[in-house]
Structure 1
Amino acid sequence: MDFDFTDEQRLLRDSVAKLFANRYGDFEKRNGYAKQPDGFDRAIWTEYAEVGLLALPFDEKHGGFGGGPVETMIVMEEIGKNLALEPYLPSVVFAGAILRHGASDAVKDEIIPKIAAGEAIIAVAHTERQSRYDLNDVTTTARRDGDGYVIEGDKTVVIGGNSADYLIVSARMSGARRDRDGIALFLVDAKAEGVSRRGYAMQDGLHGAEVSLANVRVPASRRVGNLPVLERAADEAIAAVCAEAVGVMEALIAMTVDYMKTRKQFGVAISVFQALQHRAVDMYVAAEQARSMAIFAALSAASDDAKERGEAMAMAKSAIGKAARFVGQQAIQLHGGIGMTMEYKAGHLFKRLTMIDLQFGDADHHLRRLAA
């Protein structure tokens, strides 16, 4: 199997790296973006659209560029290196996958060009307070009413939900709370009557929202999928966050090694101490193993075999969660107190690694998923 990038993929990697170097090269810029009302800079989101990043995974017939999981991996790794704040993962990767696999052509023709142009942000509202990592644990209800549906319920930790123009909501049409059958996905206007949101900043600097839906009416044409569609989109999102984690680890290791070369103890740089050299090497090995698993996840994400794809994502997410925890903890210990300060990027990288481990299921969850 050929693991080399094509010329087009290398060009994408170089252009994305240049974009983020310009926008995030100075960590203070990120702090400024985070203070904006949406938690990110809308001008950068527009720039994403101008260079084609928002159209990347969509079919050309819907205004996209026809990119696949490998192209998404390239973008997400750069997002991880720079701790980018824009809602690329929830809107383009996760919600985008639901639309690609579950929406009607009419909805795709209407919504995807808006995403590609930077005119619409979409968030996926699927997590509930009791559901933890189980996508089929749904108490939000959708009942038929005339030519549409009425949705009622509450969603929590909706990443990107504070700034979203549309929400993709999972709701139960029939069955008990944890039944796999009877779940549908609906595209809801975030400003529709009955929708209320409370946005907040999360530990890693990204933004989420608590969403309540009270008698929200949705046309039948806005039904965009079911549980298998949600699971497939979540698998693609897992592959994306695995790539992001690799980018975060790469940046954190580079910072740690540079710090070891300048931090002095007993009159010499701490990088000369063999025990610390070994710890740095262990971090590098863990990150390279994680990179291999991220590539494996990206190559498996397009599989139509749900069981095979799910097992691949569980293996990758479990391994990368363990590697992320190890690299993050070692980096903070080697930095000492400065690694925990708000002014220094290393602590923020560690926070993002911690959140990635929890997103879409932590390492232990995916080990149990494999065992089952």
Structure 2
Amino acid sequence: MLPGDLYDAAARFCTEAMAALAAPGADTAVVRHALWRQAVEMGWPAILITEDRGGAGGTLLDVASVVEALGRSALALPIVDRAAVVPTLLALCETPQAAALLAQIASGEADVASVLGLSSRLHADLTVAATHYLVALPERRMLVALEARALPLGRRYRSVDGRVMADVLTDRIEPDAAGVVARGEAFDRACAAAAGVGALLVCAETVGAQGALVELTIDYLNTRKQFGHALATFQVLRHRVVDMYVAFECTRGLVGRTLQDCVDGVDGVDGAGPDARSVSLVKGYVGRTGRLCAEAAIQLHGGMGMTEELLVARVAERALSAEFDYGDRYFHLRRLGTQKARPPAGEPARAADALMA
């Protein structure tokens, strides 16, 4: 979807990462932490940070290139959160605390994660340790920065795609003035923009996962034999692969165009993040096609598709889990139901808007 140097570098990173994770006796948690430190040294968390604050001054397309490549390997690294959501939050807060954290991220002194949540319960991703957490408190319309040791955690669990998660006990958070990064309207604006950016980049990650699922399935059907014939010779299986491929191509085109529109300013206004309607339309569609590809890949692999030893199973798990990051399709359908269809000034309504009107 987004070829270039960043995509190629991320693809090489993934190849080396998969080899490290597959090494005999490798400790997955230790390897993931080492991989994230390598990603930090490569400057990925600073891509969106402006040059005057020590960052690379890149765009959403640059981050999406990295995310798409990582989506092909299901590495469970927090690239979307720490390279896009957090910088977006801090850039829109415009407070001394936010500026200081941005500078520390750019220099590698701080590793900041976010706890946004789109429901009454907040969850923290603990797969890779962070030094600070930005916690959204919607009831108080407040965004607070906490050191990792001060984050009150409840139940811990493993997500479908292998991430270590924990509930955040927001009722135990009593921030001091120095820890408040944003309040009121600034809080609303920053969280809305960050959630939109996160949702779009999760869609880019799903594009990478779908492409990998198609390729891995074709390779398996060409290799595996039944009754003396390769599975790829059975027409019903070929038709199922075509369904996967069509879904992938449609998703790739839609997500790529939406990301480009956001960067060009068509779906973003004055740095306030992507248009909420566009995000919901894309996220709802990608949630459906991602599930279609994941389920088809597992079924076409048969019993082998249920084993985590195969990459296809891990990628399918990530594609299924990605639907629930930054709102699943039902969340975004409900949000669309509360919005009015209105085309940009001077432009005709798009086909999607016309269908939703």
For residues 257 and 92 of structure 1, what CA distance do their matches in structure 2 show? 33
Query: 1:111 and 1:331, CA in 2 relative to 1: closer, same or farther beyond 3 A?
Result: same
RMSD between aligned residues: 2.6
Instruction: After TM superposition, give the deviation of residue 307 of structure 1 in Å.
Output: 9.9
The amino acid that maps onto 2:177 is P
Residue in 2 aligned with 1:191?
Answer: 149
Residue in 2 aligned with 1:240?
Answer: 201
Residue in 1 aligned with 2:58?
Answer: 67
Is 1:318 equivalent to 2:291 in the alignment? no
Instruction: After TM superposition, give the deviation of residue 241 of structure 1 in Å.
Output: 0.3
For residues 245 and 16 of structure 1, what CA distance do their matches in structure 2 show? 15
Is 1:304 equivalent to 2:244 in the alignment? no
Q: How does 1:83-232 map to 2 (within 5 A)?
A: 83-104=74-95, 106-127=96-117, 133-134=118-119, 156-160=122-126, 163-172=129-138, 183-192=141-150, 195-196=152-153, 199-213=156-170, 214=172, 216-220=174-178, 222-224=180-182, 225-232=186-193
Check the 8 A contact 1:91/1:160 in 2, yes or no: no
The CA deviation string for residues 49-82 of structure 1, in whole angstroms up to 9 with x for no partner, is 2222121111001111111111111011011011
Instruction: After TM superposition, give the deviation of residue 240 of structure 1 in Å.
Output: 0.6
Instruction: After TM superposition, give the deviation of residue 30 of structure 1 in Å.
Output: 11
The CA deviation string for residues 258-313 of structure 1, in whole angstroms up to 9 with x for no partner, is 10001111210010112211111110110111111211331244512779711111
Instruction: After TM superposition, give the deviation of residue 346 of structure 1 in Å.
Output: 1.4
The amino acid that maps onto 1:79 is L
Task: Calculate percent identity across the aligned residue pairs.
Answer: 28
Query: 1:366 and 1:67, CA in 2 relative to 1: closer, same or farther beyond 3 A?
Result: same
The CA deviation string for residues 104-154 of structure 1, in whole angstroms up to 9 with x for no partner, is 2x3344222332344422222233xxxxx45xx5xxxxxxxxxxxxxxxxx
- Length-normalised TM-score, structure 2: 0.83
Check the 8 A contact 2:115/2:135 in 1, yes or no: yes
Q: Which residue of 210, 213, 233 maps to 1:249?
A: 210
Check the 8 A contact 1:123/1:160 in 2, yes or no: no
Instruction: After TM superposition, give the deviation of residue 204 of structure 1 in Å.
Output: 0.3
Instruction: After TM superposition, give the deviation of residue 199 of structure 1 in Å.
Output: 4.4
For residues 215 and 330 of structure 2, what CA distance do their matches in structure 1 show? 28
Structure 1 gaps of 5+ residues are: 128-132, 138-154
Name the stretch that deviates more: 280-289 or 210-219. Answer: 210-219
Check the 8 A contact 2:136/2:142 in 1, yes or no: yes
Check the 8 A contact 2:92/2:189 in 1, yes or no: no
Check the 8 A contact 1:125/1:158 in 2, yes or no: yes
For residues 195 and 130 of structure 2, what CA distance do their matches in structure 1 show? 18
SS at match of 1:358: coil
Instruction: After TM superposition, give the deviation of residue 367 of structure 1 in Å.
Output: 2.3
The amino acid that maps onto 1:42 is H
Query: 1:115 and 1:160, CA in 2 relative to 1: closer, same or farther beyond 3 A?
Result: farther
Q: Which residue of 309, 322, 327 maps to 2:293?
A: 327
SS at match of 2:169: strand
SS at match of 1:342: coil
The amino acid that maps onto 2:256 is I
Is 1:271 equivalent to 2:261 in the alignment? no
Residue in 2 aligned with 1:18?
Answer: 12
Flag the structure with higher strand content: 1
Flag the structure with higher helix content: 2
For residues 288 and 272 of structure 1, what CA distance do their matches in structure 2 show? 23
Is 1:344 equivalent to 2:310 in the alignment? yes
For residues 116 and 31 of structure 1, what CA distance do their matches in structure 2 show? 34
Structure 2 gaps of 5+ residues are: 339-357
SS at match of 1:217: coil
Name the stretch that deviates more: 71-80 or 222-231. Answer: 222-231
For residues 308 and 124 of structure 1, what CA distance do their matches in structure 2 show? 19
